[in-house]
Structure 1
Amino acid sequence: MWTTGAKDPVSVLFIEDDEVIGRHVEAGLRSHGYAVTRVRTGGSGLAEADRGPIDVVLLDLGLPDMDGIDVARQLRNGHPDVLILILTARSDEIDVIVGLDAGADDYLAKPFSMTVLLARLRAHLRRRPPAPAGPDGLVRIGDLTVDIAARRCRLGDREVELRPKEFELLTVLVRHPEEAVSREVLMAEVWDENWFGPTKTLDVTMSSLRRRLRAAASDAPAPVALPALTTLRGHGYRLDPPEPLGGP
């Protein structure tokens, strides 16, 4: 699950007129937590982008009303920060080059797998800092502070010692507070996209992370606001904001 801010999912504008590909990709993106708007023409895609905000555009080059290259160029001119991935069945290398020169960030040749598409999106989104970090570069939720660059975690004024995988798991969740993050995304981000071991590893690591954070909260000299690591049965986990101190 990816976000660009404190709680907003990544918004994807999917411009594709092929019904089979359209349904398949849209369903796959939604199942991984992306907010998808699908349109079937270049003109409607440009209009939708202007309504915004849009984080990612998946753009088919073979559109019925206008060339996808022209759509990419107009999108880049009007929305310089949007991530544009072109999808093409064209075999000529020159088409890909022209598409990238028009402003696209990357391309996928059809046919492609959802696994590859999702991996490409994650790779690009990693380079765009999605964490709700303050001016000092720290992520704060309640009394929990995570310094991702320095790999340090604090609860209140005390440092919490975490194992590497515990810290990486926490990092993914604090980047996307109040969002459902699937087991598949967590396994891919914390372990490896090609991990073939049991996903029970995720549950064991989550249990250990919870214990360490709760122990740190119990040892704190004063009450602290600790975010909740919520289990979503059949899906994954979510980091929820702490209950107000002194609340019911």
Structure 2
Amino acid sequence: MEQNVLIVDDEKPIVTLLTFNLKQAGFQTDQAFDGLAAVEKAAHNHYDLIILDLMLPKMNGMEVCDYLRTHHIHTPILMLTAKDEESDKILGLESGADDYLTKPFSPKEVIARIKAILRRANKTTQSPTDKLRIGNIIIFPERYEVEINQVLITFTRKEFELLHYLAKHKGKVISRDQLLREVWDYDFAGDTRIVDVHISHLRDKIEPHSKKPQYIKTIRGLGYKMEDIK
């Protein structure tokens, strides 16, 4: 069955280019040219992934992303931006995007990123459903839910997948490159900043004091390690 991708960009030549290349790669496509149309389509149709431009009329990409996540629409999102500024990338991730690409980009790279995101989403749905307990944290993989001290905490899909992976490998030092491979399914050298941003978000949500983390420790020069709190 062909996977369906919603392409959201107000630049019609880019939409045309992506539509052609995605169809050549075996995907079905749909299009939206502003943020309001994107929200409407995403709310009433099934998509396996959304390609979402940052700079859109009516609602920008971050507003669209935030709206979808707030309304529990967890379709994977690949954010596109014409800006090569770190702040824009971080804000895109904070609003719930799974990954980002900076314009200009090659269609080949877009397709590689899409396939990586979809492979990872498929692996997650097939993963064991046993709950995990780390200290006061209980992770429910089948529900994409986390309880801390019996309070339900909201995570983006990628934050959840990162937390779940670290919890499954508690006590082990995991490098940033390994996290890119296993959580983002990158089979090439990626931007490890995306890992650091998500780790920071996790600490804000699970740590009693995010500046003095007890659960997710930074192992300088090596990566991260999740530890149990007794």
CA contact (8 A) 2:68 2:74 kept: no
- Matched with 1:17 is 10
Q: TM-score, normalised by structure 2?
A: 0.52
Q: Could you say what secondary structure the match of 1:14 adopts?
A: strand
CA distance in 2, matches of 1:68, 1:126: 24
- Matched with 2:75 is 82
Q: TM-score, normalised by structure 1?
A: 0.48
Q: Could you say if the C-alpha distance between residues 80 and 47 of structure 1 is closer, same or farther in structure 2, counting changes exceeding 3 Å?
A: closer
CA distance in 1, matches of 2:32, 2:72: 18
Q: Could you say if the C-alpha distance between residues 79 and 31 of structure 1 is closer, same or farther in structure 2, counting changes exceeding 3 Å?
A: farther
CA distance in 2, matches of 1:85, 1:78: 18
Amino acid at match of 2:36: G
Instruction: Map 1:230-245 to 2 at 5 A.
Output: none
For residue 82 of structure 1, report the CA deviation from its aligned partner: 0.7
CA contact (8 A) 2:52 2:80 kept: yes
CA distance in 2, matches of 1:66, 1:42: 4
Amino acid at match of 1:54: Y
For residue 63 of structure 1, report the CA deviation from its aligned partner: 0.6
For residue 79 of structure 1, report the CA deviation from its aligned partner: 4.0
CA distance in 2, matches of 1:36, 1:78: 23
Of 69, 94, 107, 2:100 maps to 107
Q: Could you say what secondary structure the match of 1:9 adopts?
A: coil
For residue 77 of structure 1, report the CA deviation from its aligned partner: 2.1
Amino acid at match of 2:8: I
- Matched with 1:129 is 122
For residue 91 of structure 1, report the CA deviation from its aligned partner: 2.4
CA deviation profile, 1:32-53 (whole Å, cap 9, x unmatched):
1111101101000000001111
Instruction: Map 1:129-148 to 2 at 5 A.
Output: 129=122
- Matched with 1:53 is 46
Q: Could you say if the C-alpha distance between residues 70 and 77 of structure 1 is closer, same or farther in structure 2, counting changes exceeding 3 Å?
A: same
Q: Could you say what secondary structure the match of 2:78 adopts?
A: strand
CA distance in 1, matches of 2:64, 2:28: 21
CA distance in 2, matches of 1:80, 1:66: 17
**Highest RCO, 1 vs 2 (Cα 8 Å, sep ≥ 6):** 1
4+ long deviations beyond 4 Å: none
CA distance in 2, matches of 1:91, 1:23: 23
Higher Cα Rg, which structure? 1
Q: How much is the aligned-residue C-alpha RMSD, in angstroms? A: 2.4
Q: Could you say if the C-alpha distance between residues 79 and 56 of structure 1 is closer, same or farther in structure 2, counting changes exceeding 3 Å?
A: farther
Instruction: Map 1:154-193 to 2 at 5 A.
Output: none
CA deviation profile, 1:120-150 (whole Å, cap 9, x unmatched):
11111111227x98x9xxxxxxxxxxxxxxx
Gaps in structure 1 of 5+ consecutive residues: 1-7, 136-191, 194-248
CA distance in 1, matches of 2:15, 2:72: 23
Q: Could you say if the C-alpha distance between residues 30 and 114 of structure 1 is closer, same or farther in structure 2, counting changes exceeding 3 Å?
A: same
CA deviation profile, 1:47-103 (whole Å, cap 9, x unmatched):
000111111010001112222110111122224431001000012211110110000
2:19 is equivalent to residue 26 of structure 1: yes
CA distance in 2, matches of 1:23, 1:122: 20
Figure out how many residues of one structure are paired with residues of the other and give that number: 129
Q: Could you say what secondary structure the match of 2:30 adopts?
A: strand
Amino acid at match of 1:70: E
Amino acid at match of 1:51: H
